[in-house]
Amino acid sequence: MTLSSNLPQSERLIYYGSQRSLTPTPVHLPGTDCTISPEVPLAHYTSFRVGGPAQWYVAPRRWEEVLESFDWAKARGLPMTHLGAGSNLLVCDRGIPGLVISTRHLRHREFDAESGYITAGAGEPIARLAWQAAKRGWRGLEWAVGIPGTVGGSVVMNAGAHARCLADVLVNALVLLPDGTIEQLEAKDFDYRYRTSALQGSDRLVLQATFKLQPDSTRSQVMAATTQNLQQRKTSQPYHLPSCGSVFRNPQSNAAGWLIEQIGLKGYQIGGAQVAHRHANFILNCGGAKAVDIFNLIHYVQEQVERHWSLSLQPEVKLLGEF
C-alpha cells in the first residue's frame, strides 16, 4: 500500500507487510518552532516504560502549534492520538499509527487570589500544581500531590485520591474539538463519575483547565495536609519501579488491591511484569517487560478475581494500539 503520491517525498511510506521501504524524515511546520518526528519510541514517554513507536510524534508548546499539527494530520488522513504524561497508559509493542500529539509541553499556570481560581495548561503536572497551591495556602488540591499525571489527563479521567477527586474543584476546561475548533466546557458537561468522564474515548483534547480553590486557608495547615498525603502514598505504594499507578478501579464492595492480595497474587509475574508486593493494585515493570506482558498480567488478575470473588475488575489504565 502506498500513501498518496502527492505528499512530499519525506512523508511517503510504502508498506510491504510489516516492513517500510522508505524511512521518513522529520517535518517542520512552517511558521512554528514545531517539528513532527517519525518513528519515535513511546516507551520514553510512558510511566510503564514500554510500548512501540509512534508513526509520527509531535509535542507542541503553544496552542497554535497544536492546531497546525492537527491540520497536518487531518490533511493526510492520519488518525490522531492524544498523549499527556503517559502515566495512565499501556501502549502496545507494535506502536501507534498516525500522529501522536503530546501535550506535555503545554505548561502555564495563573493564580487569581480574588476569585481563588487556578488556570493551568494541559501539560502542567497536577502534583506540582498541588504543591504550588499549598505553598500559597490555597486549599483544595492536597489530595493530588502524589498523582503522576498532568492537568489534561486528570480532567479526562477524573483523577482522585484520599476520598477527593478533580470533579470537586473543576470550574471549566478549554477543549479542542475534532473539527479543529476550541470550546469551553463547564464542569457539568463532563458527566463526571468515579475515575471517568464524558471525554474518555472521545477525540476531544483538553488544552487548559480552571479550578476553584480556597485561598483564605492557613498555609501551615494546607502544607501539613499535603505533605501527609504524599508521605502516605510513598509508604503504601511502590515508586521504585515503572508502573502506571493503580491498575484497576475500586469496586463498591472492597478495594481492588485488597481483593487481589487476598487471593495470593502479590509477586505474581508474567515476563518482566509483576503484581507489586507493596500494593497489589500496582503492576510493575521489573526490567525488560513488554507491553504484552503487562496486558497478559492484567487479564490474568481479572480472571482470578472473577473466579474467586465473582467480581469484574475494570482497568483504570487506558490501552493504546492493538494487543
Q: Which residues are catalytic?
A: 195, 246, 316
DSSP state of 11: G
Distance CA 186, CA 273 (A): 39
The amino acid sitting at 171 is V
Answer whether 103's CB lies under 8 Å from 120's CB: no
Matching residue, cell 497536518: 72
β-sheet bridge partners, residue 206: 175
Distance CA 297, CA 274 (A): 8
- Cα angle value 176/96/43 (rounded, 5°): 100
Q: Where are the beta strands (DSSP E) in the chain?
A: 15-16, 19-20, 27-28, 35-41, 53-58, 80-83, 89-91, 96-102, 109-112, 117-121, 160-161, 164-165, 170-176, 182-186, 205-212, 269-270, 273-275, 283-285, 318-320
